Structure 1
Amino acid sequence: MRIVDFRITRFQFLRDRVIGDSQVRADDVHVAALELIGERGDIGLGFVQSLFHPLPSEAELVRVFREEVWPGLEGQAAGALAHRVNRPRGGNVRRLSVPFEEALQQAVWDLFAKSLGMPLWKLLGGRRDHVRGYASGLDFHLPDDDFSALFETALSQGFTAFKIKVGHSDLDRDIHRLDLLRNVAGPDATMMIDANEAWSPKQTIANLEAMRRAGHDIFWVEDPVLRHDFEGLKLLRQTAGATLINSGEYLDVSGKRQLLQAGGADLLNVHGHVTDVMRIGWLAAEFGVPITLGNSFLEIGVNMAVALPEVEWVEYSYQNFDHLVETPFAIRDGNIHASRAPGHGLVLSEDARRDWRRPEILDKAELGEAPRQIYLG
């Protein structure tokens, strides 16, 4: 199916809570929907995100896309684009002016799968339609009551595995949050932590030991040290006991390859770039390193998770995006289920386009109330 047109819809709204970790915080959303339109009228959908700053106006997004991206898409077959391998050389090794890259991969693969009448996960080789999820709070800045309420919601949805943000300057605060989680989830819950590079290797070893002494067995620690400290990550794999080292979130495909070669990951963290995830997934399989799917927009990553070998976990973070699509992926008994519809399974909601479209940049004070997804105390 050849691509004949495109459409971009800009959204801006408040979150229903402050999200963040030991390094960042955010309480609003800047996102745009990219729709690639095929010659038969099918639509491939992808999402552009900016975590910290508003995206340009809708007109500017369209201008940049038409100038920098559209010449390489117009008239091209979606399947050919999905499989194309480019060799970056010289001046073409640069990012786009607006971060369209992930949205392009999502939209192209969505359109390709629709052209074949197949769910994306089946096109990618999947033989199962669901994968176990873990509830991730992005909770570093939440008050204790809201922290507990969020994970009570997760427990009620059948989740049995939970990840919290750590890396506070006072380790007692991190341990206190683990205590709160244990009170909510019970003694049999699987507990993960994410330090977002807050620690050194020696700090990580000491902190994990302090958590064990406090009664908390940590299933994995995510990104405890600097992303390129491959020697430190390898050391942690050798000294962290039963706790697994989940790393690679902040690295591109080349960086993930170097991480695997250095032996710095028990689990490799990947995200929502369909082509990139599949390529690094194949490489990780050769190294015998399981993949975990971190946050991807509205859990699009479940398509890759069910297609790759040895993927046991997909992150679910209550990001408050559900109102943007007609039907989010189903969550039952703590499992995230892929869609059986052709494509990746997400369709932009026309109600959202009508009610939440923001063509121009608005000040935060102009955004009104946030759409509600979860209850916080």
Structure 2
Amino acid sequence: MKISGHATHVVRVTYEETVRGTHVVLRLRTEEGIEGISYVSRIPADSLRLVVMMIESRVQQLIGQDPMDTEAIYQRLFRNASGLELRAASAIDVALWDIKGKALGQPVHKLLGGFRDRVPVSANWGMQFGATAEGLAKARELLRRGFAGLKFQVGALTPQDAVRQFRALRGEIGGDVKLIVDANQRWSFKQALVMGRAIAEYDPYWIEDPLVHWDYAGLRQVRESLPSQITCGEVFTDIQQHRRLMEERSCDIVMIDMDFGLTGFLKVAHLAEAHGLPVHNHLASEIMAHAIAAVPNGLILGFYPWAQPLFKEPARIEDGEYVLSGEPGLGLELDDDALKRFEVSV
């Protein structure tokens, strides 16, 4: 089997009128007619064309290569890559795994490790209104839809506001729902301690990015000082950053971005397992679900639906879990009508 070409689509998607995302969608093709798909996001508007060109140039270099050689191609694409180069490389890596799964008649999560075919899932959107009447109604709706947890942004809140909102949320949703706290790297060390202690009685599932990502010593001190679990790593783009995070015991949970691709995700996840740490995804939920399901230390899938309208079938959420399809590859089928409707020129 040989790589023969590709197509890209730049799309701007809206989901439920509140979630918006701009994505570059890749369709990677083989001479045998098998097509692998992927998408990458978080690209500045003035860089969209550049990312498309980066993907095009890298695919051209791979024409005639065997798409089954994911590790060999990974080493070629990711060596010395940085910034937006990683977005282009990760798009290709994911599409290769989709091709591999389709060629072998197996879902990607089985090829990556096959630990399970369903994973706990949290709703990582919809709580921007906090514990207002609208926010509490949204929380009830998301729980009715089957999510096991909710993510709540608290970086800009005062301790008093955070306590008030957490008290209202816990009163509404009960104590069993996983309530994830995201500080978005906005706190100082002292603020992290004050905030973490203030909300501790409301049992946050974890506190995400309490400090700037490069303050490994500060993160360790926060982790050792608070009862809540600390999650970090979403902005890391190099495995050595993750290695230092783990070696310095600066977090309880490792978050991995799709900038690593699925091949790189496995490397970080196995490294985390060796350090006794669970892993969690950052965005790209439909793709990263396969990675979280593949490894024994995959903790929970953070579901953010900004690409959902691109696919024919909606995500399957049941009883607090994301249920993976048994279909070959990623089990995702692009909706051509949606691609046309959302496509933008660059």
TM-score (norm 2): 0.90
Q: Does 1:75 align with 2:67?
A: no
Question: Is residue 161–residue 189 contact of structure 1 (8 Å, CA) maintained in 2?
Answer: yes
State the distance in 1 between where 2:179 and 2:271 align: 28
Match of 2:91 among 103, 110, 129: 103
Question: Is residue 271–residue 294 contact of structure 1 (8 Å, CA) maintained in 2?
Answer: yes
- Which stretch has the larger CA shift, 170-179 or 230-239? 170-179
Q: 1:106 to 1:328 in 2, by over 3 A?
A: farther
Query: Who is 1:174 aligned against?
Result: 162
State the distance in 2 between where 1:222 and 1:309 align: 21
Query: Who is 1:340 aligned against?
Result: 326
Q: 1:311 to 1:89 in 2, by over 3 A?
A: closer
Query: Who is 2:8 aligned against?
Result: 8
State the distance in 2 between where 1:245 and 1:339 align: 31
Match of 1:65 among 48, 55, 71: 55
Q: CA deviation at 1:32?
A: 2.0
Q: 1:262 to 1:347 in 2, by over 3 A?
A: same
Q: How does 1:142-221 map to 2 (within 5 A)?
A: 144-212=132-200, 215-221=201-207
State the distance in 2 between where 1:286 and 1:160 align: 27
Q: Does 1:231 align with 2:217?
A: yes
| Cα deviation 1:166-207 (Å, max 9, x = unaligned) | 111533332333234224312332222010111122221111
TM-score (norm 1): 0.83
Q: How many aligned residue pairs are there?
A: 343
Structure whose residues are more often helix by fraction: 2
> Per the alignment, in what secondary structure is the counterpart of residue 206 of structure 1?
helix
State the distance in 1 between where 2:55 and 2:281 align: 28
Q: CA deviation at 1:62?
A: 5.1
State the distance in 2 between where 1:14 and 1:329 align: 16
| Structure 1 gap ranges (5+) | 20-27, 362-377
State the distance in 1 between where 2:87 and 2:46 align: 12
Q: 1:216 to 1:133 in 2, by over 3 A?
A: same
Query: Who is 1:314 aligned against?
Result: 301
> Per the alignment, in what secondary structure is the counterpart of residue 173 of structure 1?
helix
RMSD of aligned Cα (Å): 2.6
> Per the alignment, in what secondary structure is the counterpart of residue 298 of structure 2?
coil
Q: CA deviation at 1:271?
A: 2.9
Question: Is residue 82–residue 105 contact of structure 1 (8 Å, CA) maintained in 2?
Answer: no
> Per the alignment, in what secondary structure is the counterpart of residue 328 of structure 1?
coil
| Structure 2 gap ranges (5+) | none
Match of 1:86 among 59, 75, 81: 75
Q: 1:97 to 1:249 in 2, by over 3 A?
A: closer
Identity among equivalent positions (%) equals: 26
Query: Who is 1:256 aligned against?
Result: 242
| Cα deviation 1:198-255 (Å, max 9, x = unaligned) | 112222111121223xx412221111011011111111221112x1111111112221
| Cα deviation 1:89-144 (Å, max 9, x = unaligned) | 99x55445693232112111111121211110111121311011122226446793
> Per the alignment, in what secondary structure is the counterpart of residue 87 of structure 2?
coil
Given residue 256 of structure 1, which amino acid in structure 2 is its aligned partner?
A: H
Q: CA deviation at 1:145?
A: 3.8
Query: Who is 1:125 aligned against?
Result: 113
| Cα deviation 1:70-100 (Å, max 9, x = unaligned) | 232211111213454538999x554456932
Question: Is residue 3–residue 73 contact of structure 1 (8 Å, CA) maintained in 2?
Answer: yes
Query: Who is 2:310 aligned against?
Result: 324
State the distance in 1 between where 2:316 and 2:240 align: 33
